[in-house]
Structure 1
Amino acid sequence: MPAKLKDLKTQFKTIVVSDIHLGTKGSKAKEVARFLKQYSCENLILNGDIIDGWQLKKSGSWKRKHTRFFNRMLKMIDQDNTKVFYLRGNHDDFLDQILPLQIGNLSIQMDMIYESCGKKYFITHGDIFDSITSNLRWIAYLGDMGYTFLLWLNRQVNYHRRKRGLPYFSLSQFIKGKVKSAVSYVDQYETELAKMAMAKGCDGIICGHIHKAEDRNIDGVHYLNSGDWVESMSALAEDHNGNWQLIYYNEIDFKSSSSVVSMPKPASSDIKIVAFSKPQSNPGLSDFM
């Protein structure tokens, strides 16, 4: 007897999530765990800022829902034999002390090169390309404080919007889109990462860091950004034919079986993961991302 549709999971080759910021009030830990329960994959790439060490040192706190995210990850390893790659971000720079490390299907490293379906992608959190925070860490912390306040204000705004029956509104994304310096920063950031991919002989680059999900072509380089799980709640997913797509949590119909469709899986996998790099002496840091 065939399995019921509601029991099927969409099967991807690879899923990339970043910027969950576990340990902060703004982290959508419950949502990302539910998202990962909806799908299965051969490779799960956690592309930096999964744990927010900066906030945990100050005013952050660890909740049960934050632990549940790692419980979901461990179940994926155990039940689906998923390979998990945790790449170091700037907010979880405490990982520098143990990089690189591999325990079973879990690898913790600085960055990686991912090869699939004849394409090669350089995967990095992206903070190393932020020249401001690479050299002036105190500015990074000031920026982090400002962003934390903005997220608090965002929660107040959306609380009142929900009471009025209005949809979620990202105040920080709105402000970033209006401030010319922020728009210029994002454009320069994306261009510089595309150049880095070309320098490494890669067809594309996959990053996070700036909390802006994207899938576009920059001078012949496939630029992919997984977004974040503080505001946009987005992830990148690759099917078994090498096609990438952005998935937004708020667009998933969890009640409908139509959003849970099993995708065809090839007889053999052609994934190749290479180039585990060691931490550098001057790791990049972000202003607030």
Structure 2
Amino acid sequence: METNFKTIILSDIHLGTKGSKAKEVVRFLKQHECENLILNGDIIDGWQLKKSGSWKRKHTRVFNRILKMIDSNKTKVFYLRGNHDDFLDQVLPLEIGRLSILKDMIYESNGRRYFITHGDVFDNITTNLRWIAYLGDIGYTFLLWLNTQVNLYRRKKGLPYFSLSQYVKSKVKSAVTYIDDFEKELCKIAKSKNCDGIICGHIHKAEIRNIDGIDYYNSGDWVESLSALAEDHKGNWQLIYYNELDFSQTDKNKVVKMKDITLNQAKNFY
């Protein structure tokens, strides 16, 4: 599978929470190279850190990896503000070398224009009724905890992973309606900005589809679906799911490299 891309987009990593898959993010970024890395909001979960979240070494390693990409691969990194990392409002816009912190951006590639935004600014619940947004966050956190317990049981029984929150979203009519409205409204915004497409996150639902002539791309999340949006050098977009990747060759190379280091150490010793 291709590992060198023009642009990779990640969103909703929620560093600082128990559900964040920080180790998987680092492993993914080690295997994939790109000219542009766009972090499309909710990378750090400031809401949870204020309440009961905790910052761990594995969360720091995500940023260490990103800084290495900037330094070693000359990757340009764009960090767009989300609702859970709204503390960035105090510093944006900010540009330091190849790192830019922005509210949103226009991305132009292969003759097409894309409006990139986390998506929360178009969410009336988040912007106008903030206390309901916080209440929804508590409910989602509980669902993630329950999801962990369900999948521990399923793993013991040899059953595949099951996303409880995605199942609930698909069954609750109001949630389905909300997602549909969310996607259509974002496409209207893209059209008003003379863009060919919209790229977002926020709702934790990875998607590539066309809505009324506008390309709608959602990069998903790194709490459940563990998905990324990637553009090759010809302008083609695809969704990459971590759980579908084959790391066996990478792991073999790592073992060989460690053996070489050990052999060299032994030679130096003698």
Partner of 2:123: 130
Give distance in 2, aligned partners of 1:128 and 1:253.
36
Correspondence for 2:32 among 23, 26, 39: 39
Partner of 2:101: 108
Partner of 2:208: 215
Query: Cα deviation per residue 1:138-180 (whole Å; 9 max; x = unaligned)?
Result: 1111111111101000000111111111111110000000001
Do 1:9 and 1:38's aligned partners in 2 also have CA atoms closer than 8 Å? Answer: no
Partner of 1:228: 221
The answer to whether the aligner puts 1:152 opposite 2:152 as a matched pair is no
> What is the TM-score with the length of structure 1 in the denominator?
0.85
Query: Cα deviation per residue 1:219-277 (whole Å; 9 max; x = unaligned)?
Result: 000000000000000000000000000000000011147xxxxxxxxxxxxxxxxxxxx
Gaps of 5+ in 1: 1-7, 258-289
Give distance in 2, aligned partners of 1:168 and 1:59.
26
Do 1:9 and 1:40's aligned partners in 2 also have CA atoms closer than 8 Å? Answer: no
- In the superposition, relative to structure 1, how do residues 15 and 155 fare at CA in structure 2: closer, same or farther (>3 Å)? same
Partner of 1:48: 41
Partner of 2:69: 76
Correspondence for 1:120 among 113, 117, 121: 113
Query: Cα deviation per residue 1:63-96 (whole Å; 9 max; x = unaligned)?
Result: 1110110011011101100000000000000000
Amino acid at match of 1:102: E
Query: Cα deviation per residue 1:26-49 (whole Å; 9 max; x = unaligned)?
Result: 001111111111100000000000
Amino acid at match of 2:157: R
| SS class of match (1:211) | coil
Q: How well do the aligned residues superpose, as a CA RMSD in angstroms?
A: 1.1
Q: CA deviation at 1:126?
A: 0.2
Correspondence for 1:22 among 15, 30, 43: 15
Partner of 2:189: 196
Q: CA deviation at 1:116?
A: 0.3
| SS class of match (1:65) | helix
Tell me which stretches of 4 or more aligned residues in structure 1 moved more than 6 Å.
none
Q: Which has the larger radius of gyration?
A: 2
Give distance in 2, aligned partners of 1:78 and 1:159.
39
Structure with greater helix percent: 2
The answer to whether the aligner puts 1:175 opposite 2:156 as a matched pair is no
Percent of paired sites with the same residue? 79
Q: How many residues are treated as equivalent by the alignment? A: 250
Give distance in 1, aligned partners of 2:118 and 2:52.
24
Query: Cα deviation per residue 1:170-219 (whole Å; 9 max; x = unaligned)?
Result: 10000000001000000000000000000000000000000000000000
